[in-house]
């Protein structure tokens, strides 16, 4: 079995999936912005996707995925995130350099091909940016303990779990600060004047973190009574 839709159709389904997740429905305007497409092109594609029974579309409101559309969208996202893991872990790409390749690789192969890639990689649960990877049924377990770093409190110890912005320039900035997924920090101080933070890593090295950076980092608190400090889930 080849892929279900054209590259363009799969990109629309992916965009609708993400917008529907955030807003309950994907409006024409939001789709146009996300895909840098004209309103006329979006309307044309939405009619096509409706004919294929991949979306339910209501004029002036927007689109929602059908079960079939959701399955294609999540399988495209699954491939995208698995390829990002492959590129970082097996080809030693940096985490800021994989998204564009994954945008192309997500459109090749069938479910069997993808499942083999998944098995080869050891069935990872998250991509290099901390985003969850859907399983072959399109389901995934999000980490509900993850929250934005700007909600941390003083003396809190935490683990960096993901980024809510995976733009290359932001990821390179995190590299410069030596902030990586899985790394532990402790909050030393917060400066209300400019919303910046001082954190200390587990080597005791302090870093200054701006409000902008903290607002785009996802973290998980480490319980203070934690028994085994080396246990990494």
Q: Note the maximum CA span of the chain.
A: 59
- With respect to Zn ion, which residue has the nearer C-beta, 28 or 126? 126
- With respect to Zn ion, which residue has the nearer C-beta, 90 or 208? 90
**Region near Zn ion per CB under 5 A, out of 70-78, 92-100, 184-192, 213-221:** 92-100
Q: How far is the CB of 163 from Zn ion (least distance, A)?
A: 11
User: Of 94, 91, 81, 77, which Cα lies nearest the Cα of 180?
Assistant: 94
Q: How far is the CB of 135 from Zn ion (least distance, A)?
A: 18
Q: How far is the CB of 210 from Zn ion (least distance, A)?
A: 24
- With respect to Zn ion, which residue has the nearer C-beta, 102 or 187? 102
- With respect to Zn ion, which residue has the nearer C-beta, 25 or 97? 97
**Region near Zn ion per CB under 5 A, out of 15-23, 32-40, 97-105, 174-182:** 97-105
Residue numbers 101-130 binding Zn ion by CB under 5 A = 102
Q: How far is the CB of 17 from Zn ion (least distance, A)?
A: 14
**Region near Zn ion per CB under 5 A, out of 64-72, 94-102, 111-119, 218-226:** 94-102
- With respect to Zn ion, which residue has the nearer C-beta, 26 or 77? 77
Regarding 79 and contact with Zn ion (CB under 5 A), the answer is: no
Instruction: Print the binding letters for residues 8-47 with Zn ion: x by CB under 5 A, - otherwise.
Output: ----------------------------------------
Q: How far is the CB of 102 from Zn ion (least distance, A)?
A: 5
* Distance from C-alpha of 72 to C-alpha of 107, rounded to nearest angstrom: 10
Judge contact between 219 and 158, C-beta under 8 A. yes
Q: Contacts from 34-42 at CB under 8 Å and sequence distance 24+?
A: 35/11
- With respect to Zn ion, which residue has the nearer C-beta, 69 or 128? 128
Query: CB nearest Zn ion: which residue?
Result: 99
Regarding 99 and contact with Zn ion (CB under 5 A), the answer is: yes
- With respect to Zn ion, which residue has the nearer C-beta, 101 or 190? 101
The 3-state secondary structure of the chain reads: CCCCCCHHHHHHHHHHHHHHHHHCCECHHHHHHHHCCCHHHHHHHHHHHHHCCCEEEECCCEEEECHHHHHHHHHHHHHHHHHHHHHHHCCCCCCCCCHHHHHHHCCCCCHHHHHHHHHHCCCCCECCCCCECCCCCCCCCCCCCEEEHHHCCCCCEEEEEEECCCCHHHHHHHHHCCCCCCCEEEEEEEECCCCEEEEEECCCCEEEECHHHHCCEEEEECCCCCCCCCCCC
The residues binding Zn ion (CB under 5 A) are 99, 102
């Amino acid at each position: 079995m080849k892929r279900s839709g054209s590259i363009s159709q799969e990109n629309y389904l992916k965009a609708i999936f993400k917008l529907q997740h955030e807003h309950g429905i994907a409006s024409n305007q939001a789709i146009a912005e996300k895909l840098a497409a004209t309103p006329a092109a979006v309307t044309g594609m939405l009619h096509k996707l409706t004919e294929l029974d991949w979306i339910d579309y209501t004029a002036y409101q927007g689109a929602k995925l059908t079960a079939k559309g959701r399955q294609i969208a999540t399988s495209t996202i699954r491939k995208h995130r698995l390829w990002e893991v492959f590129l970082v872990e097996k080809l030693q790409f940096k985490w800021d350099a994989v998204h564009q390749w994954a945008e192309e690789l997500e459109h090749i192969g069938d479910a069997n091909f993808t499942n083999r890639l998944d098995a080869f990689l050891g069935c990872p649960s998250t991509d290099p940016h901390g985003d969850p990877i859907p399983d072959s049924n399109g389901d995934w377990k999000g980490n509900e303990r993850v929250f934005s770093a700007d909600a941390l409190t003083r003396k809190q110890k935490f683990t960096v779990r993901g980024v809510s912005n995976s733009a290359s320039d932001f990821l390179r900035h995190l590299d410069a600060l030596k902030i990586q997924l899985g790394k532990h920090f402790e909050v030393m101080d917060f400066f209300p004047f400019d919303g910046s933070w001082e954190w200390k890593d587990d080597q005791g090295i302090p870093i200054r973190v701006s409000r902008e950076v903290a607002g785009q980092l996802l973290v998980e608190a480490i319980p203070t009574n934690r028994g085994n400090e080396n246990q990494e889930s």
